[in-house]
Chains A and B, each alone.
Chain A
Amino acid sequence: MRTLRFALIAAAFAAATAAIGWLGVLLVGLADGALTARQRSGALLTGLAAMTSWAALLLLQAARAPIGRVATVLSGVLSVKPVGVYALTVCFAGLLALTSALVMRGVVRLSATR
């Protein structure tokens, strides 16, 4: 069940990103936070799902195009190692998803207690 949920959220993140861009991660994160507000855990899973979804999108790109060269050029521009560029990308998605889910859970719980 937990795995299925993870896969579904990751798919939702990927679809939202493809449809409306990076703010799709915010929206899915908020929605997931609202839906799972009463569960004890789950926000971390949301963050991991977002990271997985962006990693999968990068892999999809890599299957068709030389994204390694993008990472190399970016690493020069940003003065980080190429792996750092990949890490920055997936971590950004993860952080956005995690924090948006946590905030929404907090808001829902807060409103439920009032």
Chain B
Amino acid sequence: MFTTALAALGLAFTLFMGSRAVGAAPALGRFLDPVHGVWAVASRAELPVSAGATIPGLRSAVDVRYDDRGVPHVFAQNTDDVYRALGYVHARDRLFEMEMQTRAVAGTLAELVGARALPLDKTARAQGLAWSAERSFATVAPTSVAGRAMQSYADGVNAFIDQMAPGDVPFEYHLLGATPMHWKPVYTAYLQARMGLTLAYSEGELQRAQVEALVGTAAVAALFPENAPIVEPIQPNGQRAPRLDYVKIPDPHPTDSVKLALAIGLEQAATLAVSDRPDGEVVVGSNNWAVAPRRTAAGHALLSGDPHLALSLPSVWYEAHLIVPDTLDAYGVTFAGSQLVAIGFNRDVAWTETNTGADVADYYVETVDDPAHPTQYKLDGEWTPLTVRVEQYRGKRGETLAADTIYHTHRGAMVHAGARWISRRWLVTESSVAPVLESFRHTNSAKSVFDVMTAWESYPAPAQNVLTADRAGHIGIRSTGLYPRRPAQQAKGDVLIDGSVSANDWQGWRALKEYPQSLDPAQGYLASANQQPKDPKVDAGYLGWDWPTPWRAMRINALLRADSQVTPDAMRRYQTDPRSEQVGFFLPALLNAAESAPASDTVLAHTARMLREWDGSFAKDNDHAALYDAIVSEISRRTWDELQLPAPTGPERAKRIATPNTMVLAELLQQPTSLWWDVRETKEVVEDRDAILRQSMVAGYALLVKQYGTPGAAWQWSKVRHANIWHLLRMPALSRLDLAVPSAPATLSPSSGDGTHGASWRMVVEMGSEVRAWGIYPGGQSGNPVSSRYDNQLRKWTEGQLDTLRFPRRPADLAGSVLRSTLTLTPEHR
């Protein structure tokens, strides 16, 4: 009897652990099952020599050949079929990533991973990306090219899901005890909107209003300027060197306590936590450049694509080659979840993009009838009803976790910011998915640079600097996307705007001819690195403000100016060039400041000697670069102390609202006695520039000694700066962390402080009679952490190497040792 009772208890425990997830642990029964559970993922870790599947609606058989790098070359007979097949191969390799990204937009992550994702879901719903994507998708006719493309792609994804064997179910679903959801065509629009969030979302106006309250209107305009003080535009301006348009940065004004009280409430309106914001430098950037045949060794146009994004495993990119006879022959990187080659090449033309960073989000202070429960807002003296959206959040078992009410004006969603309600008009939430897909579709089958530039004429958002080169030797660039035309009284979008009058609303879009652009420039090359696209002396029209530093753009241009015989390998080397133009602005000032100090300061003298010995390189084995980097961080920290909110009572540190970028700091170096150099905490002294530079040198040195020990090998850049590529679930075991990389904050391969951003795809294309291309991305084609293809490109990526990309014309061109696997997709016979 006792034995039975004990056994019953044991059985109950085993059944409980077998069927219910406990904490982060999955339900063990299904999870550990050797046939249906997590062990089965091993069976699909590697590509089989050959496989077959059916897809409903497929019109002809599709021959998919995976090369030795695991890249599928999809040979189809028509475009609908090629998108069906791409949906299938994306799902086969990246299904979990696709669902995760989709849910991140939809605000339904908690349904997949549990209540811990609720804050993310709330942010996503408040941003309204899925809501707007649904509305955009509803306007796409199912029979249109874009409508058919999204449906065909969904058919392919769902065909894979419906035919999944246990081993096909991605590893993460086993961990989470979840089942993959079916794919809807609208999810492509979701993912498009997500790129808009990554590349065209800004809450800068909210921070700017806070900074204005702290230091005054004139100062904020200089700290976060409309025009970059170092002019090196994307659209060539005829100058052979950057122009320094320095202005005097006004001293900080005393804090306006009334404005500050209002401004503090703005923190509630921000959807990005302060800790998520990069410290002063825009880390999501990208590079691209193209060289005309007359400046290349082989006489063929060369193009480099080097987009920088948040790094993740699996990667945001998936390489694919799509072939439809006489219609499409495009190779490059796709987003898992979308149908088209985003950055790549075909037999005639290559293309790549960097982010323009145009200001396409404005914030309006609204007047509402009831601040606690608004139902109407005032517009031109009339009360206008608010649109109300109720959002319900559910957990893994379908239980309701929370609900939110989101109010919309005609401009967009409102947020409660202290005593005020603020609405946001954001181009991304009113952009249609169809023109985006059409732009990429036409680009994928373009025959020339001119075709590519035409393809992007109707593209809405996020604005991109589209660079292209063709086999005829043309190169071109255009910063394309819709740019709001603002009313004369509100010509810029960098401040909070009075929402009570409709005259403050956008009044259409800038004309195409006003876009920053260039075709076959006299200089023989084109480059962009997110810098201000146009010289304001050429066109003073407002496109945005607080542009990223031009260090990368300056470096690319310096390299290209110096080399009139560029080779593909030189293009590759440039992508991880270890030098930064920033150094030339700060290092001389540091050394000068040290020389004017008393000789008795031995630490300062030692630091100065180390800086003088430094060759300016951020190569992985360089043991001086870390010192410079630490010093520049110290300068920034000490200089911008005026931008801290008044310290709260208690142990919490005073919080800096925003950090001007290092271009503005370089500008400030020209004002040695500016009050910005003064550290407010040290009331008894007024520091000047050289005092701060000297203090920063000593502090930077001390910091490194504390963290890494005495100078030497321990200070090697590779030991200080790392790339951290997190898995989407932030599990260390599935991530690749502390990777030594040839990256620094302002080099061509930039890295952020926490190493989570960087070069997401590096590509070089030579547009000769036969197109040759090379590429790499940090990760691998498979999303399966057990697969050898999960991270097989990572080592070469960290070394700045590229793989040769295979570009077969026919299936038979991929044979023997370069053919890894074949997949035959056939129509489903009912």
* Known A18-B35, A22-B33: A107·B4 in contact at CB below 8 Å: yes
Query: What's the least CB distance linking B201 to chain A, in Å?
Result: 32
- A99 & B7 in contact (Cβ 8 Å cutoff): yes
- B45 & A76 in contact (Cβ 8 Å cutoff): no
Chain B residues in 8 Å Cβ range of A58: 34, 39
- A105 & B42 in contact (Cβ 8 Å cutoff): no
* Known A70-B786, A73-B786, A77-B731: A22·B30 in contact at CB below 8 Å: yes
- B8 & A21 in contact (Cβ 8 Å cutoff): no
| Minimum CB distance partner of B43 in chain A | A65
Q: Tell me whether B372 is interfacial, beta carbon within 8 Å.
A: no
Q: Which 10 A-B pairs have the closest CB atoms?
A: A76-B733, A106-B4, A102-B7, A65-B42, A57-B34, A99-B11, A22-B29, A99-B10, A65-B43, A67-B42
Partner of A61, one of B5, B17, B18, B39: B39
Q: Interface range on chain B: under 10, 10 to 19, 20 to 34, or 35 or more?
A: 35 or more
Q: Tell me whether B388 is interfacial, beta carbon within 8 Å.
A: no
Q: Tell me whether B117 is interfacial, beta carbon within 8 Å.
A: no
Report A26-80 residues with CB < 8 Å from chain B CB. 26, 54, 57-58, 60-61, 64-67, 69-70, 73-78
- A61 & B42 in contact (Cβ 8 Å cutoff): yes
| Minimum CB distance partner of A57 in chain B | B34
Q: Tell me whether B197 is interfacial, beta carbon within 8 Å.
A: no
- B786 & A66 in contact (Cβ 8 Å cutoff): yes
Chain B residues in 8 Å Cβ range of A96: 11, 14-15, 18, 29
- B42 & A92 in contact (Cβ 8 Å cutoff): no
Chain B residues in 8 Å Cβ range of A103: 4, 7-8, 11
- A76 & B732 in contact (Cβ 8 Å cutoff): yes
Report A92-114 residues with CB < 8 Å from chain B CB. 92-93, 95-96, 98-100, 102-103, 105-107, 109-110
How far, in angstroms, from A23 to B30 measured CA to CA in the complex? 9
Q: A65-B44, A99-B8 are in contact. List 4 more A-B contacts (CB 8 A).
A: A58-B39, A61-B40, A89-B34, A92-B28
* Known A18-B35, A70-B42, A73-B734: A92·B29 in contact at CB below 8 Å: yes
Query: What's the least CB distance linking A56 to chain B, in Å?
Result: 9
Q: Tell me whether B1 is interfacial, beta carbon within 8 Å.
A: yes
Chain B residues in 8 Å Cβ range of A23: 29
How far, in angstroms, from A93 to B44 measured CA to CA in the complex? 24
Q: Tell me whether B66 is interfacial, beta carbon within 8 Å.
A: no
Q: How many A-B residue pairs have CB under 8 A?
A: 113
How far, in angstroms, from A60 to B37 measured CA to CA in the complex? 14
Q: Tell me whether A7 is interfacial, beta carbon within 8 Å.
A: no
Chain A residues in 8 Å Cβ range of B42: 61, 65-67, 69-70
How far, in angstroms, from A76 to B30 measured CA to CA in the complex? 19
- B786 & A69 in contact (Cβ 8 Å cutoff): yes
How far, in angstroms, from A99 to B25 measured CA to CA in the complex? 22
How far, in angstroms, from A83 to B44 measured CA to CA in the complex? 22
- Could you show 26 A-B contacts with beta carbons less than 8 Å apart? A21-B29, A21-B36, A22-B18, A22-B33, A54-B34, A57-B34, A61-B43, A66-B786, A67-B42, A70-B41, A70-B42, A73-B733, A73-B786, A74-B38, A76-B734, A77-B731, A88-B32, A89-B39, A92-B14, A92-B28, A99-B8, A99-B11, A102-B4, A102-B7, A106-B4, A109-B4
How far, in angstroms, from A102 to B379 measured CA to CA in the complex? 76
| Minimum CB distance partner of A105 in chain B | B4
Query: What's the least CB distance linking A59 to chain B, in Å?
Result: 9
How far, in angstroms, from A26 to B12 measured CA to CA in the complex? 11
How far, in angstroms, from A73 to B39 measured CA to CA in the complex? 11
- A61 & B34 in contact (Cβ 8 Å cutoff): yes
How far, in angstroms, from A22 to B39 measured CA to CA in the complex? 13
How far, in angstroms, from A105 to B4 measured CA to CA in the complex? 8
How far, in angstroms, from A109 to B3 measured CA to CA in the complex? 12
* Known A21-B29, A23-B29: A57·B35 in contact at CB below 8 Å: yes
- B45 & A65 in contact (Cβ 8 Å cutoff): yes
Report B161-218 residues with CB < 8 Å from chain A CB. 167, 171, 175
Report B762-815 residues with CB < 8 Å from chain A CB. 785-786
Chain A residues in 8 Å Cβ range of B733: 73, 75-77
How far, in angstroms, from A110 to B41 measured CA to CA in the complex? 44
Chain A residues in 8 Å Cβ range of B36: 21-22
- A70 & B28 in contact (Cβ 8 Å cutoff): no
Chain A residues in 8 Å Cβ range of B10: 95, 98-99, 102
